Amino acid sequence: MKKYSLLFLSTLLLTSCQLFPSQTSSNATPTPLKFISPSPSTSIIVSPTINLKPNMEPIVKLSTSKGDILIKLYPEKSPNTVKNILAKAESGFYKNLSFHRVEPGFVIQGGDPLGNGTGGGKIDSEINDVPFKRGSVGLARGMDRAVSNDAQFYICLATETCSHLSNEYVNFGEVIEGMDVVDKIAVGDKILDLSDNTK
């Protein structure tokens, strides 16, 4: 019995270490983006009204407390991710959420319904060949490359620090207007809304 108790406690300790993001110093090298989904049963609800047309690149407007950011999405490279983001935009999911992570020279990250980096559901990763660069928009994920967070996204601040994310994370869009706004985002800044801006 003692042996099983020790095994259980060891497993519990190792598992709990992965539940809490580690704190990084400002001079630390960038680390992979982390998330923990609080509910493994959380699933994607894709609106039946979301129909992606071939060769259509939807544009969404990310309205923040610092200004607006226009993002072109890549439905040909990550169709389920784009449908999920558009469904969340349509439902008002992102209204009044915040940016909970800002790594200067690396990324800004937001979209967590809990606001602390641990919220959101799961979605199959649609890792593609689009390289990460300044302005790229990707999905956060944990250690399992096959599963991404269905809500948390990040925007790259520099090509040099984000290029190693290529072929490792889902790249589902790019900022086409408003990088000056992206550069001003600080921890706690609000996402006022995410809306479909496709013309």
Please report the domains of the chain, with CATH numbers, ordered by start residue: 56-196 (2.40.100.10)
pLDDT tens figures, 184-195: 999 999 999 999
Q: Is the pLDDT of residue 4 over 50?
A: no
Kindly report the pTM of this predicted structure.
Answer: 0.76
The amino acid that residue 153 corresponds to is F
pLDDT tens figures, 154-172: 999 999 999 999 999 999 9
